[in-house]
Amino acid sequence: MGRSCRRWRWYAVSAAVWLWLAHGVAAKGAMAASSASMCPATGDAWDSASAAQSHISPQNESIAASLRAGTRRSQTLAWLVERLEMLNGRVYLFAGAYRRPGQSLLLRGGTSHAVTGPSGFRIIKVTVDTGFGDGTIATIGHELRHALEILEAMDAVDVGSVDQLYERIGFRVRPGVYETSAALASERQVRDDLRRCRF
């Protein structure tokens, strides 16, 4: 009687351990599935257009890789890219720290106010420091929001008019350096997207 009771207890403990392990594996699988379900359903938005036709033109592989990864993992960044593809302009993405002309300040990202290009088609230069993982992707989202702000303003065609645009829609951080609530919000949203979608 004592032996069978001990054996029954051993079976019960074994079954409980097996159920606990199985539940843990199932929970991990559910978490992974949940994480994957938070990724953009549209896939890689930037890859949907060829590099030659795209309105966003990364100038080296490190920033191109960050853009590809970001549009796969962030619905916010994918939306920014899709919106820029619909506008009449081109955004050149350069890798490196951004230095404002005439200032010693170095930033992890910056959008030049020196908009150029033929009539009706504007060219914008964006610089983002690479090598910061998700931080680089979030900064790309921040700066692409600035590019969108400029391209959506038809009168923003040169340094002076872009400065005037940011006097209207943003705030001055220091002489010649402006910020907007929309760009800061885009960066936060991209970071949130990236936290939810990891693969």
Q: pLDDT band for position 175 (50/70/90)?
A: confident
Domain spans of the chain, in order of start: 1-37, 46-196
Instruction: Round to whole Å and give the CA distance between 23 and 38.
Output: 22
Question: What's the predicted TM-score (pTM) here?
Answer: 0.76
Both tokens of 86, joined, read 């619909």
Is the four-CA dihedral 46, 48, 51, 56 of positive or negative sign?
A: negative
Mean pLDDT of the chain: 81
Instruction: Round to whole Å and give the CA distance between 193 and 140.
Output: 14
Residue indicated by tokens 């539940």: 23
- Give the per-residue pLDDT at 165: 97
